[in-house]
Amino acid sequence: MAQEDSFLYALSSNNAWAGYKAHQNPNFFPKLAGGQTPQILWLGCSDSRCPETTILGLQPGDVFVHRNIANIISPTDINTSAVIEYAVTFLGVRHVVLCGHSACGGAIAALAGGRVGGVLDTWLTPLRAIRVAHAEELAAIKDESARAVRVAELNVQAGVAVLMANAVVQDAVRERGLEVHGCLFDIGSGRIRDLGFGTGSKGGVMRGAGGADEVVRGKHAQLVFRGGSAASMAVR
């Protein structure tokens, strides 16, 4: 498809989608326009293969989102900090999810060790620091894809540590039980894996404390996370 045709196709696809959703549920867009009450703040990578609402099986209005190159969480990044503060303080989200992914270009670039060019070299500095700090462990991983996945995991761990040190997040965890999850999205399978960082329990999919069912209800859908099993979705 020609480059200029891609945008025209996107507009046409949007028109078809909007028409279908309105036909399926005439109240969908009027309800959406009335305000947002998302229960999840998603902090992810800008990679086009990781569309959070789609891979979570949720709908517009269910997930508040911030994405950047390689899902890096920096305490000095005012953009990220503003998103976190708004979502936690004013929207009252119940879950903060920091999600990395397999085949991450940022992780691969950090492992390569060369210059990328421009501002990207500055932005990827935290990933390069992770590579240096864990050089022995990473060198022992012979498969390049697995090595990049490990860097992505370590990046999520570092990002969750920054989140847990954020005063707004700390207050919400203490005062109303906000949950912080560090996860990894496997592009090859479409599955999200809880890495066990943050306030949640280790292993499996995202779930509530003690492995109990955790129901995440959005404006138009809900996910039920069960310990050790896949999530089920009900559209309302």
121 counts as catalytic: no
Tell the burial category of 53 from Cβ atoms under 10 Å away from its Cβ (0-12, 13-18, 19+).
Answer: middle
On whether residue 137 sits in a domain, the answer given is yes
178 CB-near residues (< 8 Å, 6+ apart): 88, 93, 94, 95, 96, 169, 172, 199
Instruction: Locate 153 and state its tokens.
Output: 């995991």
- Asked if residues 221 and 40 have their Cβ atoms less than 8 Å apart, the reply is no
On whether residue 87 sits in a domain, the answer given is yes
Per the structure, how many domains does the chain have? 1
On whether residue 232 sits in a domain, the answer given is no
220 counts as catalytic: no
What does the pLDDT look like over 92-135, one tens digit per residue?
999 999 999 999 999 999 999 889 999 999 999 999 999 999 99
202 CB-near residues (< 8 Å, 6+ apart): 194, 195, 196
- Asked if residues 159 and 182 have their Cβ atoms less than 8 Å apart, the reply is yes
Per-residue pLDDT of the chain (236 residues), as tens digits, is 566 799 999 999 999 999 999 999 999 999 999 999 999 999 999 999 999 999 999 999 999 999 999 999 999 999 999 999 999 999 999 999 999 999 999 999 999 988 999 999 999 999 999 999 999 999 999 999 999 999 999 999 999 999 999 999 999 999 999 999 999 999 999 999 999 999 964 433 444 333 445 555 555 455 555 444 344 444 33
On whether residue 88 sits in a domain, the answer given is yes
47 counts as catalytic: yes
Q: Which residue range(s) make up the domain with 57?
A: 37-211
Residues at the binding site are 45, 47, 101, 104
On whether residue 50 sits in a domain, the answer given is yes
On whether residue 221 sits in a domain, the answer given is no
Catalytic residue among 45, 50, 99, 183, which?
A: 45
Identity of the amino acid at 229? S
Long-range pairs for 17-26: beta carbons < 8 A, 24 or more residues apart = 25/220
The helix (H) or strand (E) run that includes residue 99 is: strand 95-101
Catalytic residue among 94, 95, 101, 131, which?
A: 101
pLDDT given for residue 202 in this prediction: 46
On whether residue 218 sits in a domain, the answer given is no
pLDDT given for residue 2 in this prediction: 61
Catalytic residue among 104, 147, 181, 193, which?
A: 104
104 counts as catalytic: yes
26 CB-near residues (< 8 Å, 6+ apart): none
Residues at the binding site for Zn(2+) are 45, 47, 101, 104
On whether residue 165 sits in a domain, the answer given is yes
Instruction: Locate 8 and state its tokens.
Output: 């025209």
* Nearest of 181, 203, 191 to residue 56 by alpha carbon: 191
CATH number, domain of 54, equals: 3.40.1050.10
